[in-house]
Structure 1
């Protein structure tokens, strides 16, 4: 059995998946197909389906006009090892979108992302609950997450 995440785009699917695969290691666009027949979404050629891989995980994307927009109930978490990785992905994905608290952003297509340090979960689930509280409180004050500030909160 395979499980594949599915993303529905109103338009510009190829631009979106091109950006995503350029930013995430071990990613690629596997296939893009334009449906040759008329569909409920439009005339022949108006619907595209893509298969892609993001960080080794399978995704399918569909461009078929408006239906339901993305919301926070689905997001992609990009765990980054360095601040430079956070900064690069944050800049590229937030361009034309909107930034939010705690490392969340919406890209220009409306898809929600969490751009986070790889070590964040370890810090906020630390057995030293005072340390975990300090890190969580520091994170809640941030928009783009800052590794040095989170590490400082863990030490204090």
Structure 2
């Protein structure tokens, strides 16, 4: 049994797969299926080794913020680069969230966020969350500083 993410799109399946696979290592486009007129219907692709299916189903099911893609970055330069790419033609949101040019919501967060939130001291975790919610694009050092505040 395999589980994959299925993205219902309005004519942008190939563009989504092409764009996203340029942003993540261990990514590639797999099978591209076309209808009898040659139009792309479905694109299988992987991002970071995880399988996705993009389907050109039409406009009846637009994306909402209720579900999002989640990308973790190890360094500030990696986070900055991914943020810049995904917000190009999209819009920034609060706390490391954004909506890309295709209408897909993303959470772009540092890999160490969970560790920073695991403090035995509830006040420390609250400081980290307060700092996170005050940010648009995440500043990793700002979260570390909030964690280490005495």
* Whole-angstrom CA distance in 1 between matches of 2:96 and 2:17: 21
Match of 1:40 in 2: none
Contact 2:14/2:54, CA 8 A, preserved across alignment: no
* Whole-angstrom CA distance in 2 between matches of 1:92 and 1:125: 30
Match of 1:41 in 2: none
Compute the displacement of 1:61 (Å). Answer: 0.6
Compute the displacement of 1:17 (Å). Answer: 1.4
Contact 1:83/1:146, CA 8 A, preserved across alignment: yes
Residue 135 of structure 1 pairs with residue 128 of structure 2:
yes
Q: So what's the TM-score if we normalise by structure 1?
A: 0.90
1:57 to 50, 59, 73: 50
What are the ranges of 5 or more consecutive residues in structure 2 without an aligned counterpart?
A: none
Compute the displacement of 1:46 (Å). Answer: 3.9
Residue 90 of structure 1 pairs with residue 83 of structure 2:
yes
Give the 4+ runs in structure 1 shifted more than 6 A. none
Contact 2:95/2:133, CA 8 A, preserved across alignment: yes
Provide Cα deviations, 1:116-137, integer angstroms capped at 9, x if missing partner.
Answer: 0001122123222221111100
What are the ranges of 5 or more consecutive residues in structure 1 without an aligned counterpart?
A: 37-43
* Whole-angstrom CA distance in 1 between matches of 2:120 and 2:72: 21
* Whole-angstrom CA distance in 1 between matches of 2:30 and 2:40: 17
Residue 23 of structure 1 pairs with residue 16 of structure 2:
no
Match of 2:92 in 1: 99
Contact 2:14/2:40, CA 8 A, preserved across alignment: no
Contact 1:13/1:62, CA 8 A, preserved across alignment: yes
Compute the displacement of 1:55 (Å). Answer: 1.2
Q: So what's the TM-score if we normalise by structure 2?
A: 0.93
**What is the aligned length?**
149
